[in-house]
Amino acid sequence: KQEVTQIPAALSVPEGENLVLNCSFTDSAIYNLQWFRQDPGKGLTSLLLIQSSQREQTSGRLNASLDKSSGRSTLYIAASQPGDSATYLCAVTGTSGSRLTFGEGTQLTVNP
Amino acid sequence: SAVISQKPSRDICQRGTSLTIQCQVDSQVTMMFWYRQQPGQSLTLIATANQGSEATYESGFVIDKFPISRPNLTFSTLTVSNMSPEDSSIYLCSASGTGYEQYFGPGTRLTVT
């Protein structure tokens, strides 16, 4: 059974700092990995999707990497802003290509 | 990408009643899913909504409690039946196409009193 772990559970940083969020998964047989953002009481916004054959994806100040063999992914946020404050969720899709398994999330607070 | 809407956005219901949540996608999608997010926790998959046939439920979730319909490729409903306070959660609909990237609706915040 796939298990996804995110470290740290919570992170508080001053504005402008670069930061890294970590995600690990136990079964390397994945189809893809997604990073999501969730604001309090809201739905999920897809940030980045990395296919199993890819090593990284970039969107603006966000960069996500994938090391499938070691079961790890990182989300790098450059020059953090207070508007980045949210919970960040990592999720993997199994090789059947359907169900997502989520981590518990990292709650990020960026202080002005 | 797909844009997903859900109705209602929130509701407060009494114990023992039922609530039906609607999910509408703006384009035809291959798969639709229903998730539950209990307070302070991550998402748990309830079931995969199959078009024209019975939904596929995850362990711990049953059709009598969470009946699901998917009459076409862009619409699905989830009913939370005979509610108790333990059903208070955010319920989220998601959809994916052939690339298996999943998009989520804004969620329905349910409070059961």
pLDDT digits (tens, 9 = 90+) for A30-54: 999 999 999 988 889 999 999 999 9
* Cβ–Cβ < 8 Å for A85, B26: no
% of chain B exceeding 70 in pLDDT: 100
* Cβ–Cβ < 8 Å for A27, A2: yes
Is pLDDT above 90 for B97? Answer: no
- Taking the Cβ of residue B73 and every Cβ of chain A, the question of whether any pair is shorter than 8 Å is answered with no
Q: Which residues pair with A6 in a beta bridge?
A: A23
Q: Which residues of A touch B100 (CB under 8 A)?
A: 31-32, 93, 97-98
Given the DSSP bridges, would you call strands B102-104 and B89-96 parallel, antiparallel or unpaired? antiparallel
Q: Would you call B100 and A102 a contact, using CB atoms and an 8 Å cutoff?
A: no
Average pLDDT, chain B: 93
Distance CA B109, CA A37 (A): 18
A42 to each of A2, B6, B9, B64, B91, how far by Cα in Å? Answer: 26, 12, 10, 27, 10
